[in-house]
């Protein structure tokens, strides 16, 4: 999937794309089936349905990525307790990209 430089700099997309590009589980789903980068849309409902059987840590990463894209997707930051060190580092960087 081709991602434009301008999209990578967009405050709403940068953190979301960073997580999808750098988390192995999320990266599998960075496809045209779930993302239309030209229209600027994500098939969030389809991703959430797909994630139902995932581990809590994986669901958190998805929920955070979707929240950074659009705050209508809620996330509980206390669920970061489920993350390992590497995923916490990804989260901190994604938050810096979005809010920093």
Q: What is the pLDDT of residue 1?
A: 78
Distance, in Å, from the CA atom of 5 to the CA atom of 53, rounded to the nearest integer, reads 33
| Three-state DSSP class for residue 88 | helix
Phi, psi of 10 (to 5 degrees): -70, 130
Domain locations in the chain as residue ranges: 5-99
- Read off the pTM: 0.94
Q: What is the pLDDT of residue 54?
A: 97
Average pLDDT over residues 13-40: 96
The tally of CA atoms less than 13 A away on the side-chain side of residue 4 is 9
Q: What's the pLDDT tens digit per position in 20-30?
A: 999 999 999 99
Q: What is the pLDDT of residue 2?
A: 87
Pick from 30-34, 69-73, 92-96: least confident: 69-73
């Amino acid at each position: 999937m081709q991602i434009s430089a301008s999209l990578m700099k967009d405050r709403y997309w940068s953190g979301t794309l960073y997580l999808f590009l750098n988390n192995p589980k999320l990266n599998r789903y960075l496809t045209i089936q779930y993302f239309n980068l030209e229209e600027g849309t994500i098939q969030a409902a389809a991703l959430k349905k797909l994630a139902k059987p995932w581990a809590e840590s994986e669901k958190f990463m998805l929920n955070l990525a979707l929240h950074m894209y659009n705050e209508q997707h809620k996330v509980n930051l206390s669920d970061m307790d489920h993350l390992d060190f590497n995923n916490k580092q990804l989260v901190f960087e994604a938050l810096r990209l979005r809010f920093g």
